[in-house]
Amino acid sequence: MSPPPQGRTLTFPIAWSRGQGQELAVPAPKAAGDRSPSDEEVMARLQSNDSSALEILFGRYARLVLAIARGIVRDSGEAEDVVQEAFFLLV
């Protein structure tokens, strides 16, 4: 993986739970009354520099990206790096 550009470092919290293998901890969904924005809305917010948009995308897709990365690189540490790099490139 290439290092991030100078002055732009993002840290994504990846916490592994015990007892169920290695699983990504993602924040609990909001209350049933809260409408979740569509991916298109979130991407528009991300393009307008809304800092919460990346958090929303990470919550939705980090597990999927991690599972795919683990299947390809066959190393949990490298897979976490892939996840971080993928979400970093969205910014």
Exposure on the CB side of residue 16, measured as CA atoms within 13 A: 9
Instruction: Supply the pLDDT for residue 13.
Output: 56
pLDDT of residue 19: 45
Note the pLDDT of residue 24.
47
Flag residues of the chain having pLDDT under 70. Answer: 1-34
Structure tokens belonging to residue 55: 């958090």
pLDDT score at 11: 55
What per-residue confidence (pLDDT) applies to 2?
Answer: 54
Determine the Cα–Cα distance for residues 21 and 29; give it in Å rounded to an integer: 22
